[in-house]
Amino acid sequence: MKIKLTPKTKWLIWASALSSALIVTYIILHASCQQGKVDLSLNKEQINAVNMILENDTIPERAQLTAFNYISNVLSLTDAKVLKRFFDTFQHKDIKAIIPEYAFEVKSYFWLKEPRVFLEIIFWSLFGLMANLMYSVNIAGVFEKKKIYEHIGKIFYTPASTIIIYLSLYALVNSGSISLNGVGKSVIVLSFILGFFTRRTIVLLGKIKDLILPLGKDEPKKEKTNTDTGVNEIKGIIKIKGISDEMFEKNIEHAAVKITALEFDYTDVVNPDKEGMFYFDNIPNGNYKIEAELVINKIRYFEESTIELIDKEEAVEIVVNLKSEH
């Protein structure tokens, strides 16, 4: 007997296959290509140890050699010759002042120096995106086929958006000097977060745009309509009193749930699943009217309510109790 897969199951299989392919590609590239590098400074304890070595030995050359050996042991340097040049370049008295801010190039599994750091950003933003898509589809009561095209689009614009945000942030922080060297593993963490919360990433891009390209004095300000951000979700369930479970299961998928913005032009309609669950996402901030309707044996069941949505961190859960109009 052939098992018929639901669209949701097919999408999850496809997403799992793509995620597996990404992971395998990532591992192969890191295993076969040049070893990763990162600029790393000594921590407070290591700096104190170097200072003690330099202070306690009265012979500068011997003190520097001891410090050289110590740093070589605590850091996996990519090239010990660079450290040797460091001690040859600076005098004994200046090393204590310089070393707290000095970044040594050390070995790393990850590519954390330009230009390969951009590949790390692309991969980890995609890892975050795929984790989010699989999570959100799993918890969604209703799987909407039209969202598949949106998901595919995110695969293409999420890495680019993440890179642009990094370049923009470092340009702003470094007064126009763009460099990702020395950022360490935080680049991986932030790339994953930006990929996981893709919608918020797009909102952040808009805010960066306002900082870089503010309105001129003579340009009219855009009237605020609360439609610039779409970070809200609704998870709802329909319940009907006075009918049997059999009648509920037979008819509930024919119900219609409509959400309408009260302050601007926005409308969406969905149908619940067999359990009566429905789902809205990408909802802009604002006040909304929610209407649910179902006709069973010429009897109309209806419910209307209002809700306010403003940058909700989690999906808003609501219960719609349909009531007969007779």
Q: What CATH number is associated with residue 290?
A: 2.60.40.1120
Q: Say yes or no to pLDDT of 226 above 50.
A: no
Could you give the strand order of the β-sheet that contains 277-283, starting from the edge strand earlier in sequence?
267-270, 256-261, 286-296, 299-309, 316-324, 232-240, 277-283
Compute the chain's Rg from CA coordinates: 29
What integer pLDDT is reported at residue 175 of this predicted model? 52
Q: What is the pLDDT of residue 37?
A: 83
Count of beta carbons in the 10 Å neighbourhood of residue 57 = 16
Higher pLDDT among residues 214 and 106, named by residue: 106
What percentage of the chain carries pLDDT values higher than 90?
A: 20
Half-sphere exposure of 182 (CA within 13 A, CB side): 9
pLDDT grade, residue 183 (50/70/90)? low
Higher pLDDT, residue 53 or 20: 20
Instruction: Of 92-96, 282-286, 287-291, give the lowest mean pLDDT range.
Output: 92-96
Task: Give yes or no for a contact between 230 and 288, defined as CB atoms under 8 angstroms apart.
Answer: no
- Lowest average pLDDT, out of 67-76, 221-230, 296-305, goes to 221-230
Q: Do both 15 and 118 map to the same domain?
A: yes
Are the C-beta atoms of residues 115 and 47 closer than 8 Å to each other? no
pLDDT of residue 228: 46
Q: Is the model's pLDDT at 219 over the cut of 60?
A: no
Range of the domain at 175: 7-32+112-212
**Looking at 212, 246, 281, which one is the last position of a domain?**
212
Share of the chain above pLDDT 70, in %: 84
235-275 pLDDT, tens digit per residue, is 999 999 888 888 998 999 899 999 998 888 888 999 998 88
Same domain, 120 and 20: yes
What local confidence, expressed as pLDDT, does residue 164 receive? 87
Please say if the pLDDT value at position 223 is more than 50: no
Residue 197 forms part of a structural domain = yes
Q: Which of 12-16, 129-133, 207-211 has the lowest mean pLDDT?
A: 207-211
254 to 68, 103, 251, 271, 278: CA distances (angstroms): 76, 64, 6, 7, 12
pTM for this one? 0.61
Strand (E) or helix (H) holding 300: strand 299-309
> Which range among 27-31, 145-149, 178-182 has the greatest average pLDDT?
27-31
Q: Give the total number of structural domains in the chain.
A: 3
Q: On the CB side of 188, how many CA atoms lie within 13 Å of its CA?
A: 11
Same domain? For 101 and 116 the reply is: no
Q: pLDDT band at 7, cuts 50/70/90?
A: confident
The mean pLDDT value for 136-164 works out to 79
- Length of the chain equals 326
Residues 127 and 251 in one domain: no
pLDDT for res 291 = 93
**Is residue 182's pLDDT more than 60?**
no
Examine residue 89 and state whether it is found in any structural domain, yes or no: yes
Query: What gap in Å lies between CA 165 and CA 194, rounded to an integer?
Result: 9
Structure tokens at 73: 């042991």
Strand partners, 271: none
Same domain, 25 and 59: no
Higher-pLDDT residue of 207, 301: 301
pLDDT for 60 beyond 50 = yes
Residues 116 and 98 in one domain: no
